Structure 1
Amino acid sequence: MMPLRLLIAVCALLVVGAVCAEHNPAKRLIVGSEQDYPPFATGLTDATAGGFTVELWKVVARETGLNYTIRVKPFHELLQEFKEGKIDILINLAQSEERRKFADFSVPHVTVHGALFVRKDHTGIRSENDLAGKSIIVVEADIAHEYARGKAWGNKLILVPTAADGLRLLASGRHDAMFVSKLVGTQTLRQLNLLTIIALPIAPGATQKFSFAVQKGDAELLALLNEGLALSRASGTYTALHEKWFNEYEFKAPGLFDALKYPLPLLGLFFGYVALTYHRRHNERRKAMQGLAESHHMLQTVIDTIPMRMFWKDRDSRYLGCNTLFAQDAGEAGTAGVIGKLDSQLAWRNHATHYRSGDLAVMASGQHKLAYEETQTTPQGENLWLRTSKVPLRSLDQQVIGVLGVYDDITEAKRAQEEMLLASMVYESSSESMMVTDADGNIIAINPAFTRTTGYAKEEVIGKNPRILNSGHHDQAFFQGMWDAINASGNWQGEIWDKRKNGEIYPKWLVINTAFDAEGKPYRRVALFSDITEKKKSENLIWQQANFDTLTGLPNRRMFHARLEQEIKKAQRTDRQLALLFVDLDRFKEVNDTLGHAKGDLLLSEAAQRLQSCVRASDTVARLGGDEFTVILTELDDTRGIDRIAQAILQSMSSSFLLDGEPAHVSASIGITLYPEDSTIAEALIRNADQAMYKAKSQGCNRYSYFSRSIDVAANEGAAGARLDQEPHPTLPEK
């Protein structure tokens, strides 16, 4: 028959194991114990802390594997630091409705009553009603202080840091009474040897239930403390500590020897009481047997239905019992196939030595080993992760007779944890900036790359909207389109310009993805982006080199063709004219051959600048190569301004060039064609202007010539000397 003690141990083991799996035992807790409050707490410093509650705390901490540091201070200081979150646990706090607003309490470890202490010569106080207008001493922030504030005792409360300070003050005769726990006051009087102070035979205030207190809402830590207290009671440690610290101060009921001192009628009452007690115990024994049977059934039900593997062994590590899940893992059809066997006879025989070593350690130390992780390889070669807890199995006389254990298969959880760790490593070490927002768009996480890119630290952006990065570069329509795409498909990507913390505006490539909850609603949005400043510079450089002449900075042949096509379409839409000029430098080859290519390059650069100065900003000047240039004159209402521009170009080009101190002289020949009179096709216009330029050059250079149909006919017939329909336009005198 399985005893109720085993049921308690099983339940405690399961709950503690589960909580330990989530609670971080490595965290060092700050534990508060008040100064000089015997027998609960003794000592005035951290190093001298003692008393019932301190020793009970050490037992609970050992049972649950908690790390801690004890802080000993006056009670009111401890309570204030607890409220400020500087202390994690108060180990001796009386429960009250007021305190439940900021603390959660364990099951009480001691229940006591308050008492009024007065001087023997003070006869004016017999009940609480006599305290009105009296000078009453209380320990600051103590439960007695809280109670006294709620009574009509006037404003004459005298606050002291410890019970000893208050009783000394009372003995000095300056105040009327002290309200404090009767047990604490009695013990303190004995320590101080104050014979003039007595406790009145009344119990003011409510029952005081002293408990461990944790920060409001810390359910995991509270569960650990409650289970640690349960284990201390199950092991008998709590009882031993209670007898050590309290029996000395409790008033014992008279025993048989004392009763014999009373008159004979009391003996009759005593024997009558014995007879009645025998009858009651007979009934209680019968009920206990029935309760034991029910407990056995309850324990068996727990063992069979618990969602964990459970087992117990004797001192030789031979199995005494297990549940069905454990038997299945062991490769047996039922629990009967496990009982009496060793680990070397079951499916995990390769781990038998390791398991035996763990059993021996728990039995030898008599200490629990909770929620530790270990691996196991199945006969099929699969590697499993287990979370195991073992406790000593004890007899009724507290002798260790074996080991009781539970374990759970956490393989999937471990894999998920490793995946999360890997994801976290990627998140933290990624060179790509990452930002996570909640469904409302508030930032909840960033990675280090985000800080490197934007300049914002984590604490500067958490809880804020990503609008803090807005550069103002994009209009409302841009963002509306982006959010339309996100709301429709859950994702968006594209180029966007944002602003760093230092105000610098930069381009980045942004990818936004949405994570949805089980109901299909947006839960998180994840943004990944990278600074593409250098990429944009490279692209711009490549584009610049592909479309502009490196020597003069003018559009090159490719860009010229694109511009001409663009301007033709614009002229077609607006029903306006444009002119195309072909400009060829006369005698440039002579300068280049005589003065060298470096000087020739200087002349070409200067010529490009002179050409640009002759036209409007809306016009295009391009270099096709060598000494050939083109000019696109756009948005012409008539052709009267073309002659003026052509004359300006001829005059500008015929002026002397100074090349590093050396003068040089060239001129220009210009061919002009008109859209739409001559053609509406770009290639035809280019050919027309080229033919007109050669006609001007054949007429003696330093002049311009308009295209005409006769030029086109002559070119097609190969008649180089054919006459033009019109004479070349007047030119400037050559220099």
Structure 2
Amino acid sequence: MNANAKEIMVVEDDPVTMMQTSRVLQEAGYNVLKAPTGEKAMEMVYNRRPALVLLDVMLPDMGGLEICRKIKSDSRLQGTYVIMFSGVQTESDDRAQGLESGADGYLVKPVRTRELLAQIEAMLRIRYAEMRLDEDRRWYEMVLNSIRELVLCMDHELTILWANQAAADSLDMRAEELIGRKCYHLWNENDKPCRKCPVTRSLESKSPDHSIVDTPDGRIWEVRAYPVKDEHDRMLSIVEVAQDITDMQKSRQALERSEKLLKEVTANMPGAVIQYQVQEEKGLLPLFVSRGVTELLGVTPEDILQDPVRLWDNVHPDDSEQVSSSMGDSLNRNEPFHGEFRVLDRDNSYKWLRISTVPYSDVREKMWYAMISDITLLKKAQEEMAYRAMHDYLTELPNRELLLDRLERAFAMASRYGHKVGVVFFDLNSFKPVNDLYGHMAGDKLLYQVGQRLQKCVRKSDTVARYGGDEFVAVLGSISSSQDVLRVARKISSEMSRPFVLEGMEIHQDFSMGISIYPDDAADPQELLRLADQSMYRAKKDPKSCYAFCSG
């Protein structure tokens, strides 16, 4: 991933849209590349490697879908995000085609500035987190490629998925030439798996195995096999670690060099590595702790070497017992372990860490390695994307999907405890003239202020959501009678009767509300919403009142 972090390419044949979009991005601090055609876009994306491409669906020389597929299928452009946008209202199938082509997002023009920048910022945060994780992965691969033991990762049919440099060197081949080959073809020169091989036995038993193996070239190997399982105990792959012990003294010297190199490499690598010796009575004895542990866990290597329990000093109390217990189970089973936990940071906030453990043993001793990395950025990006999927980008209120979920929860609680649920369907009667007279930015500010005022009128346990356009819905849970809803409706009426201040001007807005109550009016959430919507339209026709009850 070597794309330029702050460079965005806009692919758009309409000069006005190109100018407006470029100005918004430049004001937000991004470097903007401009491509009016698909051919120019492909030329620039290879030369400049932008972090993100804003791609129009319709271009004069080639389709946006075709360009997106080319970018996403080229490994040289890995890490380049694509957001497609269309100049016409698109059907769900059109959006699906855009996403199936590999696009990371899909917008419909005219695109709101806030929505555009929010999507770009969220994607770039995820991209940065992925880059950090990819750097960690390459560091760990470098460590595995630095040791003298052969390390192979294979699937259920013993097809090689990954091999370190030592494995390739043992056959005088390149590592990529081993991928897709059967391990028993390469080392044992057999047409089928050897029943005595510990890898075959481990595959059948789904448990770690090891033994001494002779190969046709006269070498003697100590082979260890470890099944890799998920949290449901399903085997995903199998890892083989083999050491040439033909000349024990040479093997020992090679191991010592590997351990020295491991310490030198891990001392400066991102994250932290801890090397333990497994003792029968005392459990894990730390032999080496990289300096990165201080930044991640707030304790020094010396602290852990002196007292191994200090590793958990700053771990969140809800996580420490679970993670330490899982590590103990991993040690007892002699299997790899992967877990995530929170650690108290210097500013009293919590950051997320990921720990991966790998057992190692030979004829002399048993070792255990723990690798720890910071995944806070990835967690935050995932949480933000989940939040934005359930909230309206303009008002920051729950969207329709989250509204329906909250309404169904309110129904369940009311049914269980014999309460009622009220729905207030709110609509602005004269919103369109605001957009026409003062512009869409003023209209957006008005909708935001409406959402804020509605929230002031309900309890914290209630939900106010933007239903669409200038329509809002309030869900009032755990009420006892229609009078509870009436008090909220009157409070909303009083709050909305005050003028709104937009661009230094006071603006009054007429509004209407429709009210329905469960179980008085309906026993189904969707039906209750529909009846509140109908009541709102009745209120629009009544000059004497701004609200109407479904049953009133």
TM-score (norm. length: structure 2): 0.49
TM-score (norm. length: structure 1): 0.37
Determine which structure has more spread, i.e. the larger CA radius of gyration. 1
